[in-house]
Every structure is written in C-alpha cells, then in structure tokens.
Amino acid sequence: MFPVEVPLSHLGPPILLLLQLLLPPTSAFFPNIWSLLAAPGSVTHQDLTEEAALNVTLQLFLERPPPGRPRLRLDDFRGRTLLADDIFAAYFGPGSPSRRFRAALGEVSRANAAQDFLPASRNNPDLHFDAERLVQGRALLVGALRETLVAARAFQHALARQRLGAALHALQDFYSHSNWVELGERQPHPHLLWPRRELRSLAQVDDPTCSDCEELSCPGNMLDFTLLTSGYFGMHPPKPPGKCSHGGHFDQSSSQPPRGGINKDSTSPSFSPHHMLHLRAVEVALLASIEALSLLRSRLGDRGFSRLLDITPASSLSFVLDTTGSMGEEINAAKVQARRIVEQRQGSPMEPVFYVLVPFHDPGFGPVFTTSDPDSFWQKLNEIHALGGGDEPEMCLSALELALLHTPPLSDIFVFTDASPKDAFLTNRVESLTRERRCRVTFLVTEDPSRVQGRARREVLSPLRFEPYEAIALASGGEVIFTKDQHIQDVAAIVGESLAGGWVTLPLEPRVFIPGETCVFAVDRLLRQVTVRMHGDISGFWIKNPAGVSQGPEEGTGPLGHTRRFGQFWTVTMTDPPQTGSWEIQIAAEGIPRVRVQAQTSLDFLFHFGIPVEDGPHPGLYPLTQPVAGLQTQLLVEVTGLVSRQNPEEGRPHFSHAVLRRVPEGTRLGRVPLEPVGPPERGLLVASLLPTLLSVPAPFSLELVGQDGGGQGLRRTAPQPCPVAPVLLELSGPPSFLAPGSKAPLSLHVASFSGPQDLDLRTSISPSFSLTSNLSRAHLGQNESAWGRLWLEVPDSAAPDSVVMVTVTAVGQGARPVPPTHAFLRLLVLARSSQDQPETPAHSADRGRPPVTPASLPSALVTQDRAGGGVVDKAWWGTVGGVLFLLGCSSW
C-alpha cells in the first residue's frame, strides 16, 4: 500500500526536463510501421511506452552513479533522440549490450499494442476508457498496476510485463479517448492512479456532451461544459442521445446523431476526428506513463524495477543438477563454476541478476530454488550432494521444464548429468518452452552414448537415448557436450564464459560439418575474442586465416591464438584483433565432430513476427510468437549495438537482407530484402515472408547480411532456429481476476492456413487443478478455425501468490502427422479482497459488457477464415501464450 499519495510534482525537475528533450520534434518518436502507413506522423502506444521507459531508466542512471565510472550528465543527452544503446554505453561502458533491456521493453510494448486486437480486450470499453466508463476503467487500470507489482515481487517478470503493457495501454487511452485535453489540461489527471480518490465532475447519462459533426475533422463538436466524458464506440453499449462517439470510419456509433467523434488516436482525420489535438494528448499521455513507471519504481525499489525491465547487460545463472550417486564430480564442477562466475563478476555490470537451481534424480525432481542474492544461491548449491540412486535414466526434462518456467528470458541454462532422460515424452514441450523463453540450454554430459559400462541400468538402453538432449539443444541454440569426469570442471568453465554477455555464434558454411572437408566462417571488424570450440573423436585439425596463416592442434599459443584441450574438447581463441575476412577450418575425426564459432560484439539483433491488421479502427501489427504455415507474416528486426556516438567517418553498420535456411540441413529457403523503418539509429527493419516461403512446418535459421561502416561484409545469425507452426494455436483468459475457490473460463482457438488438419487437442495443468475442455478433436479445412472453451477450477486451498501453468498441445493425426504445436498460459493466484468489486454508477450499469465473440461462446465452433493479402480477419484473434491473472489486492 502507498502510505501517502504522491502528486505529479514528485517526478521533480529532472524527469520533466528529460521530457523537453523528447516532446517537441515528432520524429523523436518511433512510429509503429503499420500505423505509420495509415497515419504518418502519429505517435503510437509503442512509442509512448518505450519513451516513458527510457526516461525513467535514464532518471535511474542519473540518480545512481555507476561503480567506478563517472556520473552521467543530463546535458550529454540534451537535444538527442534517447536510445537504449546510448544510455547503456554511457552508464555500463562502451560495448555493454542493451539486448535484454530492449527485449523486455518489447514484451511490454507488444502487450500494450495487443489490447487493441485480443478478443477479450479490444471491444471492452472499460479497458479503453470508452463509453463514459471512467470509474470502471480506473478500477481496472489500478488493478493491472497492482498485478504488475505482485507478479514482479514474485519474480514472475514475464507476467508482470504483460500486465504492465495492459495498464499503460488503458492509461494512454484515457488521454486520447476522453475530453481531458479538450478541457485545457496539460498535466495528467491527479486521481487516475489512486483507487481511494474519487473521480469528480463526471458527465452523467442525461448530460449531452457533443453536437453533430458531418465532417471527418470535428474541432468544435464538444459542447461548452466542464464535465469529464469519453466517446462511445460501436454498438455495445449503445450510445445514448446527445453523447459523443469515439469516431472514425470503423466506429458504427459515429453515424448516429450526434455524428463525428472526439478520439485523438492519430494525426489522420479518417481515424481521429480530433486529430488536431493528437500531439497534445501525446504529451500528457507520456507524462502519465512516466508517472506510472516512476510509481512502480518507488514500490519495487531500484533493484526490483531493474529486474522488471531487465535494465542490465548481465544474464542470469541457471543450473539443473543430477544428484544421483554417480554425480559427485559434476556437482563439484557446478559449484566451482558458480563460485567462479560470482566472484569474477561481483560488483561489476556483468554480475548475474538472478539465480535458479533445480536438482533432479529418479523418481523425483525439484524443488526449484530462485534468488537474486549470490550468497543465498551459493549456500543452497553447497547443500547439494550426490546421494543414492545411480541407475539410468533420470527425470532430467521435468527438472529442465521447471527451470525454464522460472528462468528469465534470454538466459543460459546449464544441465549437468551423466544419464539419459526417463521423461523423453516432454521433449517437444520443452523445445517449445525454450523458444518461448528464448533460453539457450547446454547439456554437459559425462557419459559416452556408446558406452556400455558405468551406471546400473534397469533395461538395455539405446545408443540414441540422448537424442532428446540433442533436439532441445538444437531448438534452443545450445549444445550437448560429452566429456569425462576429470575434464568436467575445465569444460564447464569454458562454456560458462558465454555468460559474460555480448557473445554471438558465427554461421558456418556448409552448415553440416563433414570430416576432412573445409568449413568457412566470416570475421568482421566488429568482432573480438573469436573462439572455435570443437569436440568429438578428433585426431587433428587446422584453422587458416584470410592471409593463409594456419594453426594446428598443438596446445598453447600459436600464430593465430591460444589452443586448449581437455580430453576430446578443444578450444582455440584468436588473438585480438582478428584478421577480417574468410577463415577456414578442417577437422580429421571419427564420426561427425561438433563445431561452434563464437565471438564477442555489441552488434546483434532481436526479432519477432506479426500479422498486419488493416481493416479496423487501430491499424497495427498483431504479434505472433512464431510464423504459421500458409500465413503471410511480417518479420520485424531490431538491431542492437548501434551506438549513435561513434566516429561519423566510420559510417553506420547496416543489414540489407535476410537469408532463411532449413534446419539442420542448411538448405537455402530464400532471401528477403530488409526495409528500414524510421530513423536509422533505431535499427528497425522489416521484411515480408510470403506463405510460399513458409509452406512447410519445419524450423529455419535466420541470418542477416549487410555491411559494416567501412563497406566490408557483415553477417549475424539468430541464436535459435525459428519454428514454423503447422496451425495457429491460441489460449487466452478473461481480463478479470479470480481467487481461490473460483472457476475461470479459458478460450481456445485453433486455425489452419496450409491445408486440411486432423488434430488431437490435449491439455495439462501444473499444479493439478481441475481442468475440463469441450474441444478435444478438431477437423479443419484450409482457412478454417475451431473455437472451444476450457474451465479451470481454482480450489479453496490454492496458495496465494502461486503460479499455475496451463498447456494445450495440438497433435496431428493421420498418415502424415504434423509436429506438435503448444500454447502456454500462466496464471497468478491471489486472495480476493473486498475492494476488488468497485461500485458501478447506476447510469452505466451493464453497458460495459463486451459483445459476444467466438472467445466467449460456450461451445466449440468452426468458422471460415481468410488469409489473403496478409490481412487477418479481426473476428478471431486471441492471444498467443496469453496471460490470465487470478488476483485480489486491496490497494497499491
């Protein structure tokens, strides 16, 4: 709870001064690419969210001088576009990656934008401050901020970012959809974020608010009065006589007298009758967004707020440990590696921000231990010893799944074991989780897959028993490294160096390594610490640089760099700076050796996918976690490491096209041009992926190709392969919260765009609450959808502040089954409070009920969809891996 209510003035002159750097030039806001097409010069929810977060992050940096570095000066940022790369380089040092922060900010921004597309939210006036639902909207806004706090304090940061995006969307909508700006206000509403303060001077149902306007632009349609109102949109609820509409071509209510509307969503009169006030609404909405984020910072503290938005260049440290009797050396290696990482990076920007530990054996696994305190982690790790057991296989994948659910995105997870998995049936689900969490999994296995002696075994085990590890490592961008007990500490230390941040994997040609043949990789001038790692039954190798200088397997320092060997694990680290150009590797080995080339650089990229939605009141890009076979998709790339304060004579690196290759074969699928959008320093690129390019549900690698600032070649590869889902599978819940003893309706949607599909739909839940579904099979033709309903019963005994995970898996049937598709839904259970049911004014009762959509139908439904032209029918969009919160808090 807030002990006192803080007025807007608590932001202080520094925050308000920061705003002066950003607000006057509209080009300082990065436009949503699809909104830009519809309304050039407009500022979007994404722009507001990112600018507010950058402002509060810079304010945090200004107030907390970095250890061992000079204090930041506000004057250094005056008159400049505020960029994450710039402020990270200034605070943490040159080359410090902002990738994690930008990824977290992207989660918040996409959750914000999704409020205009999701069935459960897009037509609900309470979530957009429409239809004079101001009291109800404020209650949901404050509730979403409370949910953000609760989830962040429980270290459920993905959930917290989802709710923060929803809260900021509603907050920003208030200033665009209400007449607050028309009343002459230039500061945020003083009571909007405070649940105990009454919203005064509200228009009542019999108060006329607008006059008729038959033009697109309606600058004078507000009646002369001082009451607060907002516009009605569509037909639910119906607009009373004399009331304002939202307005725009897609608002059915705007054709009923009084015609026109008052929204300020864009600069286009076709969408926004009060377009002339758009930038004024932007100014106030940005101030309000900064206020909300500053309040979260004050409640969470700087450390908690930094975790919420991943304001750090460092990764997390996550270990999954086999604790059976034969694992003594491996457990000691994990302890040594953890201690080394903690001691070497303590107090530095690269100190891990979060620690996760999950033990496993047979038949048990867990519990998970999470902390942000390195001493607590070390103490817990020291308590683990190899005890009992000793037979194979073990519950490795169950433990890994538990670790993935608690490890922050973009993290590395290390699995130490000497046994194959007993729970191999989880392979596909764990693969999907690694992609959703964008976590890289490395298996350190002290077991030769062909070895027949060692552990006791209850059955004869296949030499292919480690294939689940191989599949998960491939899907996550990680590795499976087989070594021996005497080498595990050294191998773990080398692999653990990748936790330092800023490491990229360089693409090899050809992708499939063949012993005795030459493999090539390219080095550019932005790379440092180029390292070649090889393991397998290797008898020899040589590496040659572009000048023809080569180095063989002799240990120690050679003409190219330093070679180390631990059993069958080799590493060669090139002397800096490495020569630019094409390097060659040749290896003599029995079987297929494993080769990986890594290097450190600040230049990297993030990417995500989306579907353009053009036929609605809010044109934009609906986010997808992965492409869907047969559906035209947009690839959005965000290049990181483009620090604007570089030498202008060197030029700026840029990427011109993307190359897609089938995984693991390396077969080239196609090349697509990358088009820059917005100011070049933002590094945003877009490409259109045609359905013919993604017609087969199989993973592909994504490689960006371009030039550095000097005109030399430049290549970067995504750390994980990109899967193509055979069907679109969406699982979502209502925006309202539930408590122990409640029953939650969930919406399930599956659609096919690439041909007929015969699917089994399987559900699972952890912990084991009651979950029922009315859709267990779906027979779909091309461009057909099926809708279903799930009911989740939350028992009275459900622990507050606990997380529930619902998974739906679509499994193809028939002669040619397709790969499984998974949808995940996380739920946060909290106790109900008496203040969670705000009073509803009599004049607005029952008007906020959203219209019936497929998401709220009580039974399964199959409908026809269209996928032509890259525009998706807005009637059926749900949320991919959406979030339902079961919440009950009395106040902030």
* Reduced 3-state DSSP string for 443-480: EEECCCCCCCCCCEECCCCCCCCCHHHHHHHHHHCCEE
> Which among 129-138, 309-318, 378-387, 833-842 has the top mean pLDDT?
129-138
Bridge partner residues of 210 (DSSP): 222
Q: What is the pLDDT of residue 735?
A: 67
Backbone phi, psi, residue 445, to 5°: -115, 120
Tokens, residue 780 = 């779909």
Q: Which of 382-391, 628-637, 711-720, 765-774 has the lowest mean pLDDT?
A: 382-391
Tokens, residue 466 = 């480690």
Q: What is the pLDDT of residue 80?
A: 81
For residue 734, say if its preceding peptide bond is cis, omega within 30 degrees of 0: no
Helix (H) or strand (E) holding 810: strand 802-812
CA-closest candidate to residue 601, choices 499, 524, 533, 676: 524
Q: Which residue has the higher pLDDT, 133 or 647?
A: 133
Task: Indicate whether 70 pLDDT > 70.
Answer: yes
Q: How confident is the model at residue 644 (pLDDT cuts 50, 70, 90)?
A: low
pLDDT digits (tens, 9 = 90+) for 838-858: 333 333 333 333 332 333 333
Those residues with Cβ within 8 angstroms of residue 6's Cβ, 6 or more apart along the chain or in another chain: 295, 298
Q: What is the CA radius of gyration of the chain?
A: 28
Q: What is the pLDDT of residue 827?
A: 81
- Collapse the DSSP code of 649 into the 3-class scheme (helix H, G, I; strand E, B; otherwise coil) and give the result: helix
Q: What is the pLDDT of residue 650?
A: 66
Those residues with Cβ within 8 angstroms of residue 149's Cβ, 6 or more apart along the chain or in another chain: 160, 296, 299, 300, 892
Q: Say how far apart CA 716 and CA 701 lie, in whole Å.
A: 11
Backbone phi, psi, residue 545, to 5°: -90, 175
Q: What is the pLDDT of residue 454?
A: 45
Q: Say how far apart CA 181 and CA 189 lie, in whole Å.
A: 10
Helix (H) or strand (E) holding 163: helix 157-177
pLDDT digits (tens, 9 = 90+) for 740-764: 899 999 999 999 999 899 999 999 9
Which residue in the block uniquely carries the two structure tokens 């039954």? 537
Q: How confident is the model at residue 391 (pLDDT cuts 50, 70, 90)?
A: low
Q: Report CA dihedral (261, 266, 270, 272) to the nearest 10 degrees.
A: 0
348 by Cβ neighbours in 10 Å (0-12 / 13-18 / 19+) ranks as middle
Helix (H) or strand (E) holding 153: helix 134-153
Backbone phi, psi, residue 174, to 5°: -55, -40
**CA 525 to each of CA 94, 528, 650, 659: distance values in angstroms, whole numbers, following the listed order:** 16, 8, 11, 21
Q: Which residue has the higher pLDDT, 619 or 504?
A: 504
Those residues with Cβ within 8 angstroms of residue 224's Cβ, 6 or more apart along the chain or in another chain: none
Q: What is the pLDDT of residue 864?
A: 44
Q: Say how far apart CA 880 and CA 125 lie, in whole Å.
A: 22
Q: What is the pLDDT of residue 859?
A: 35
User: What's the whole-model pTM score?
Assistant: 0.87
Q: Which of 288-297, 389-398, 681-690 has the lowest mean pLDDT?
A: 389-398
Q: How confident is the model at residue 882 (pLDDT cuts 50, 70, 90)?
A: very low
- Average pLDDT score over residue span 783-803: 91
Helix (H) or strand (E) holding 294: helix 278-308
Note whether 160 and 148 are within 8 A (CB).
yes
Task: Indicate whether 364 pLDDT > 90.
Answer: no
